[in-house]
Structure 1
Amino acid sequence: MADRSEKVVVEVERRRLALSNLGKVLYPAAGFHKAEIVDYYTRISPVLLPHLADRPLTVKRYPNGVDKSFFFEKNAPRGTPPWVRTVTLPAPGSTKNRETIDYVVVEELPTLVWLANLAALELHVPQWRVPRRARKPRTDTIVFDLDPGPPATIAECCEVAVALRELLEADGFAPVPKTSGSKGMQVSAPIEVADPELPSRYAHLLARRLEQAMPKLVVSRMAKDLRPRKIFVDWSQNNPAKTTVAPYSLRAKDAPTVSTPLTWDEVAAGGGISFTAGEVLERVEEFGDLWAPVLDDGLRHRITGSMVTDE
């Protein structure tokens, strides 16, 4: 392993990058070094990059490791290379009183490696894109974040996900599941929608239906005192101002766990579902990109106002 203070200049797809502190351990309990983080994001990039393309990025940076302090970063940091794409968007309600934010948009492997070198371990994206030629953002995904309240676990999340799949498919959607890389999971589907507020309304409606059908297991209301022993179906992640962890992103846990796309057979089997970086690379070799359906225009289903009339 390289000396922690050593800088290494590498060429990544014709971009020169100076990587530093590659020997620094960022996952102390697992002995996982920054070099291994750079390696993981490089090797996973063929399936990760399409899911980051055109999406303004929010990162969680852990410069001193996952057991030390971290910070969220939305604005492109000082020293951002000129070849990194950024997009300037309004920042209503900014905690730093900014009128706009210059978001990084990951389009190529060098940007991903540059971010890994900044210890940007977690990558979070919205459910909408900003294509270069588009006049405004395009919402193209709906997400349901399944959050277990202890002692509930991801096993109970799987049970709820199966029921959610039935509701979505009955309405014409093509849902896909993934772990959050933490304690819960997400179910997403590719959509078309004219009004960016409709996905939240539709997701709220389905969350309430699940709560009515499975009252001992599901809660759709935000109050935290209602969540113990239940799965909170967080429909609010569809708010255009919110983000969700990207598929294949690392998470800042004791081990380098990853937000991992699943098969529905795995979800139906339930049980402990958690994968680390190395295991995810092996899964991609075996299954390919299980999250690819969210990018399939042929699977997009339109959300209309008539679908939320019984809210």
Structure 2
Amino acid sequence: MTAQRVTVQVQDQRLELSNLDKVLYPAADFRKRDVIDYYRQAGPAMLPHLRDRAATLIRFPNGVDGGSFYEKDVSRHAPDWVPTARLVSGAQGRGRAVNHHVLIGELPTLVWTANLAALELHVPQWTVGPEDSRNCPDLLVFDLDPGDPATIVECCRAAELLREILTAEGLRAYPKTSGSKGLQLYCPVRTTRAERTSAYAKEIALRLEAEHPGELLAKMNRSARAGKVFLDWSQNNPAKTTVAPYSLRARSQPTVSTPVTWDEVRACREPEDLRFTSDQVLHRLDRDGDLLADLHENPHPL
């Protein structure tokens, strides 16, 4: 055992961790050991939101300033005990690439991905079914993205408008920060058609854009985004993913995609009001538990 390679026991698996002193967030002197320890502690709250979902890893082997790459296929280096799902790319599984996506359902697998410097974990709005099939979406998501000089403050005002419509439709909306600039809303849903959530979210986004054309935007039109909040409904496409709850983000500081309360959304007046780092998130978990604990219960039919 050396300072650079350490063997640890995580539940029923032995893992070899490497380069624990490598600085991954230079501005915060946040090292790989800190990344692994954050995911170890956040794991109990995070794993229910990762389980059975085909994860895409965004890896930063040389830290947030050193470049990154997406990894969907872990078949070449995953240990035998790491569960994977063999999935064909594309919204309907009719693409050209075949990937063995990691399924992060237990703590050893989460620690294994952290040791790969997979700072960000992204998952789709559907789960993997029998024989690596794709279940219909069980989540509806809106990604509220501010165009400068708008910030998450404007996203909060948009989220309140969006919540009114969703509540009137019988849906429960759960907010979380993106961990970057924006805000995301999740609703538990039930549908029999994979494309239904995307079509439904688009309808709602276009309706809000029509009602608030000066503040909101539903179309991917970068030239028109300045000062507006883009209501990105497209992440409901089965081929797309969204950053997972409690995932770190690759920013200068180790910020986290953090579940928040509607009271916090209503009270937000400065971007710093809804900016949380890993230490703050662990404190929130100790104090409040997982604010998304019942996210997957009682899905509403679309």
TM-score (normalised: structure 2)? 0.95
Matched, 1:274 2:275: yes
What fraction of aligned residue pairs are identical, expressed as a percent?
52
Give the aligned residue type for 1:40.
Answer: Y
Q: How does 1:254-265 map to 2 (within 5 A)?
A: 254-265=252-263
Q: After the TM superposition, which segments of 4 or more aligned residues of structure 1 sit over 3 Å from their partners?
A: 131-136
Alignment of 1:220-239 (within 5 A): 220-239=218-237
Q: What is the CA-CA distance between 1:107 and the residue it aligns to?
A: 1.4
Q: CA deviation at 1:294?
A: 1.9
Question: How far off its partner does 1:209 sit?
Answer: 1.4
Partner of 2:289: 288
CA distance in 1: counterparts of 2:89 and 2:134, whole angstroms? 15
Measure, in 2, the Cα distance between the counterparts of 1:92 and 1:291.
Answer: 28
Please give the secondary structure, in 2, of the residue aligned with 1:84.
Answer: coil
Structure 1 residue ranges without an equivalent (≥5): 304-311
User: Is the 2:87–2:132 contact (alpha carbons within 8 Å) kept by the matching residues of 1?
Assistant: no
Q: 2:113 pairs with 109, 112, 115, which one?
A: 115
* Residue aligned with 1:87, SS: strand
**Count of residues in correspondence between the two structures:** 296
d(CA) in 1 for partners of 2:9, 2:229: 46
Residue of structure 2 equivalent to 1:17: 15
What residue in structure 2 maps to residue 306 of structure 1? none
In the alignment, is residue 163 of structure 1 matched against residue 165 of structure 2? no
User: Residue deviations 1:89-113, cap 9 Å, x none?
Assistant: 11249xxx84311111011100011
Task: Output the amino acid matched with 2:9.
Answer: E
Aligned to 2:65: 67
The corresponding residue for 1:302 is 301
C-alpha distance in 1, partners of 2:51/2:161?
31
1:68 positional shift: 1.0
SS at match of 2:175: strand
SS in 2 for 1:47: helix
Distance 2:106 2:283 in 1: 22
Match of 1:148 in 2: 146
Pairwise CA distance, 1:134: 7.9
The Cα offsets for residues 262-308 of structure 1, whole Å up to 9 and x where unpaired, read as: 00000011222100000000111111111223211x2x1111xxxxx
Cα gap change, 1:301 to 1:108, in 2 (>3 Å): same
1:220-251, Cα deviation, whole Å (9 max, x unpaired): 01111111100000011100000000000000
- Whether contact under 8 Å (2:216, 2:229) holds in the other structure is yes
Shift of 1:131: 3.8
Which amino acid in structure 2 is aligned with residue 289 of structure 1? D
Q: Secondary structure at the match of 1:174?
A: coil
Note if 1:36 corresponds to 2:37: no
Structure 2: which amino acid aligns with 1:114?
Answer: W
Q: Which residues of 2 match residues 67-86 of structure 1 at below 5 A?
A: 67-86=65-84
CA positional deviation for 1:152: 0.2
SS in 2 for 1:292: coil
Does residue 207 of structure 2 align to residue 206 of structure 1?
Answer: no
Paired with 1:120 and 1:74, the residues of 2 have a C-alpha distance of: 11
Structure 1 residue 57 corresponds to structure 2 residue 58 = no
Runs of 5+ unmatched residues, structure 2 = none
* Counterpart residue type for residue 282 of structure 1: H
User: What is the alpha-carbon root mean square deviation over aligned residues?
Assistant: 1.6
Structure 1 Cα separation of the partners of residues 131 and 295 of structure 2: 21
Tell me if structure 2 keeps the 8 A contact 1:178–1:262: yes
- Whole-Å separation in 1 of the counterparts to 2:253 and 2:97: 37
Please report how far the alpha carbon of residue 214 of structure 1 lies from its aligned counterpart in structure 2 after TM superposition.
Answer: 1.5
Partners of 1:274 and 1:289 in 2: CA distance: 17
**SS of equivalent residue, structure 1 residue 121:** strand
**Residues 126-155 of structure 1: per-residue CA shift (max 9 Å, x gap):** 000014478542310000000000000000
